[in-house]
Amino acid sequence: MSINTVSTTSFPGQRPGTSGLRKKVSVFQQAHYLENFVQSVFDTLGDCAGKTLVLGGDGRFHNRAAVQTILRMAAAHGFAKVLVGQGGILSTPAVSCVIRKHGALGGIVLSASHNPGGPDGDFGIKYNIANGGPAPESVTEAIYQRTEAITQYRISDAADIDLQKAGATRIEAMDVEVIDSVADYAELMQKLFDFDAIRKLIAGGFRLCFDGMHAVSGPYAKAILEGQLGAPAGSVINAVPLEDFGGHHPDPNPVNAAQLIAIMAADDAPDFGAASDGDGDRNMILGRKFDVTPSDSLAVLAAHATLAPGYRAGLKGIARSMPTSQAADRVAQALGIPAFETPTGWKFFGNLLDAGKATLCGEESYGTGSDHIREKDGLWAVLFWLNLLAATGKSVEALVSEHWARFGRNYYSRHDYEGVDTHAANELMASLRIKLATMAGQDLGHYVVDFADDFSYTDPVDGSVAQQQGVRIVMTNGSRIVFRLSGTGTEGATLRVYLERYEADPEFHHLPTQQALYPLILIAEQVAGIADWTGRAHPTVTT
Ligand code: G6P
Ligand code: ZN
């Protein structure tokens, strides 16, 4: 074994987006491409002598090859130890959990989350820091600057290690430990939730269906839901991670999780349905013939949090991303705790969690989590819901309907226009920004504009400022339209239009969502000229 220094030249565009560097697999397969990025991460970290790194990914195509390369580079950089998930597998929440439990310096997550996998799909890489969360912008920007200047990287010529076999081995002077991908994570879940109560619920005939979508959460769900909680074999469907996710799009929304939606819509549907995404950090919650929006899910969990052992002491605060509905704010107000509104991107919750200002966090993009780790956590949300269902004896629909009756309903939908021409999307946003100054007080038919702005966020902990985080048009009754461009796509631009209407009167709590939002949908088109700019009369995805 020896360590070699390899000359390289920089690749343009290695700037991490909302959640790491995501590109087509073919881009990552170029000689030196992954190596340049990894060396830039290591250079940014500096001396790693005596330090531990956690490494794993969602099992998508190129995962194993990338794991072997990164192990060889970590050894060359002088890490003392790498904890790598068996088979190269670790869900994003599991990486966060393992970093924290083992006091690691940080971790590398190999995932493009919900983006399609396979040789023609996407690949991604993300660095997480010692608190278990995604690196803040100061770090990702430093990594990017380094990728622009890189001239060489260092790598051991050691042979591939056997990722299937749990246990310890060595590359150069570095210890490599192949760990059980599920164990640390499952242990943490047992501390947070009442497994006995959930076991009893299931033993009493309560039926559930969890869709692993052939992505990373299958093995976790099988071990916990079927193995530890006694759900009958087959309760977890599409449980085996596949390199191309079985050709499906591992994003748990009503469009992509069609199989689960059909199961939950049948007359003999299970009591509870859920799905997670490629890397296991998202969640979708369903009742029998009933969908729960992610924004409502956050609000319901917050309202009943003390029913779960890990949250008995109550919540310190609730944080949501700006485009997420304001349902959770009403719960925070009722509980007398602070509500925080952050830009899109889980990394913005990190400081609030570290500072003990917030306990629960959530995003409209099917992300929910808490201070137990520093990533959003799909299976955690599922277990939280099961804990509430067991503790209350109520159905999913009853819990949500009662929540609306108490707090009012925030009708909510997101309309995505995917694969739009990047220039046109930027022009649409620019023309909206020009209109903002004159919008306040405008009468738009059903609604009068209270204020309109481009959301900017000052982090209450470190004072850092994030600007241009989404154009919002807020009506005098709290209803809103938000426009922003996705930071996670890999092809063209994706315009997201977020629509929210607040309805206090229970008599109007059971309208079809798109119908309830129709006047706002018309206003969004009228104000932004979506069809003109994008050439699209309809969104590609509606959640
Ligand atoms: C990832 C991030 C989330 C974010 C979501 C959508 O899942 O972890 O924090 O909400 O992507 O981001 P986008 O920029 O595509 O709307
Ligand atoms: Zn994800």
pLDDT of 335-375, one tens digit each? 999 999 999 988 899 999 999 999 999 999 999 999 999 99
Nearest-CA residue for atom 3 of ligand 1 = 345
pLDDT of 236-261, one tens digit each? 999 999 999 998 888 888 888 899 99
CATH class in words for 3-181: alpha beta
Average pLDDT over residues 147-155: 97
* Cβ of 367 less than 6 Å from ligand 1: yes
Closest atom of ligand 1 to 344 CA is 10
Q: Residue 256 corresponds to which tokens in the numbers above?
A: 């992509």
* Cβ of 18 less than 6 Å from ligand 1: yes
pLDDT of residue 175: 98
Residue 211's pLDDT band, with cuts at 50, 70 and 90, is very high
pLDDT of residue 255: 81
Q: Closest Cα partner for 342 from 516, 481, 461?
A: 461
Mean residue pLDDT across the chain: 95
What 383-386 contacts at long range (C-beta under 8 Å, 24+ apart), as own/partner pairs, is 383/189, 383/192, 383/193, 383/198, 383/224, 384/192, 384/193, 384/301, 384/308, 385/272, 385/274, 385/285, 385/297, 385/301, 386/193, 386/198, 386/201, 386/208, 386/229, 386/272
Which ligand has an atom closest to residue 470 CA?
Answer: 1
Which ligand has an atom closest to residue 92 CA?
Answer: 2
Residue 490's pLDDT band, with cuts at 50, 70 and 90, is low
| Ligand 2 centroid to residue 328 C-alpha, Å | 22
CATH class in words for 409-542: alpha beta
Q: Residue 276 corresponds to which tokens in the numbers above?
A: 């997670």
Cα 138 to chain center, whole Å? 20
pLDDT of 454-473, one tens digit each? 999 999 999 999 999 999 99
* Cβ of 365 less than 6 Å from ligand 1: yes
Q: Closest Cα partner for 477 from 438, 514, 434, 519?
A: 519
Average pLDDT over residues 141-147: 96
The answer to whether 26 is a known catalytic residue is no
Average pLDDT over residues 507-535: 93
Which ligand has an atom closest to residue 343 CA?
Answer: 1
* Cβ of 368 less than 6 Å from ligand 1: no
* Cβ of 377 less than 6 Å from ligand 1: no
CATH class in words for 185-407: alpha beta
* Cβ of 486 less than 6 Å from ligand 1: yes
| Ligand 2 centroid to residue 296 C-alpha, Å | 19
Nearest-CA residue for atom 4 of ligand 1 = 345
Average pLDDT over residues 147-160: 97
Q: Cα dist. 99→109, 207, 217, 373, 406 in Å?
A: 11, 34, 18, 9, 40
* Cβ of 226 less than 6 Å from ligand 1: no
Residue 162's pLDDT band, with cuts at 50, 70 and 90, is very high
* Cβ of 44 less than 6 Å from ligand 1: no
Residue 445's pLDDT band, with cuts at 50, 70 and 90, is confident
* Cβ of 345 less than 6 Å from ligand 1: yes
* Spatial distance between the Cα atoms of 197 and 487, rounded to a whole number of angstroms: 40
Average pLDDT over residues 488-513: 90
Which ligand has an atom closest to residue 368 CA?
Answer: 1
pLDDT of 12-63, one tens digit each? 999 988 779 999 999 999 999 999 999 999 999 999 999 999 999 999 999 9
Which ligand has an atom closest to residue 60 CA?
Answer: 2
Average pLDDT over residues 275-301: 96
| Ligand 1 centroid to residue 281 C-alpha, Å | 11
| Ligand 1 centroid to residue 434 C-alpha, Å | 26
Domain coordinates in residue numbering, the chain: 3-181, 185-407, 409-542
Average pLDDT over residues 152-173: 97
pTM here? 0.93
Do the first three CATH levels of 3-181 and 185-407 match, i.e. the same topology?
Answer: yes
Q: Which of 113, 295, 321, 370 is catalytic?
A: 113
Q: Which one of 365, 429, 457, 490 would you pick to mutate in the ligand 1 pocket, going by the greatest count of ligand atoms within 8 A of its CB?
A: 365
| Ligand 1 centroid to residue 331 C-alpha, Å | 24
* Cβ of 490 less than 6 Å from ligand 1: no
* Spatial distance between the Cα atoms of 525 and 531, rounded to a whole number of angstroms: 7
Closest atom of ligand 1 to 494 CA is 15
Name the percent of the chain lying above pLDDT 90: 90
pLDDT of residue 251: 87
pLDDT of 298-324, one tens digit each? 999 999 999 999 999 999 999 999 999
Strand partners, 124: 22
* pLDDT surpassing 90 at residue 132: yes
* Cβ of 19 less than 6 Å from ligand 1: yes
Q: Closest Cα partner for 414 from 475, 474, 324, 330?
A: 324
What H or E segment, with its residue span, contains residue 426?
helix 422-436
Q: Residue 371 corresponds to which tokens in the numbers above?
A: 């201070």
The 8-class DSSP code of residue 245 comes to G
Most confident of 129-143, 191-205, 462-476: 191-205
Average pLDDT over residues 219-239: 97
Q: Which one of 363, 376, 495, 497 would you pick to mutate in the ligand 1 pocket, going by the greatest count of ligand atoms within 8 A of its CB?
A: 363
Per the CB < 8 A criterion, the answer to whether 490 and 385 are in contact is no
3 state SS of 258: helix
Average pLDDT over residues 382-393: 98
3 state SS of 59: coil
Closest atom of ligand 1 to 484 CA is 16
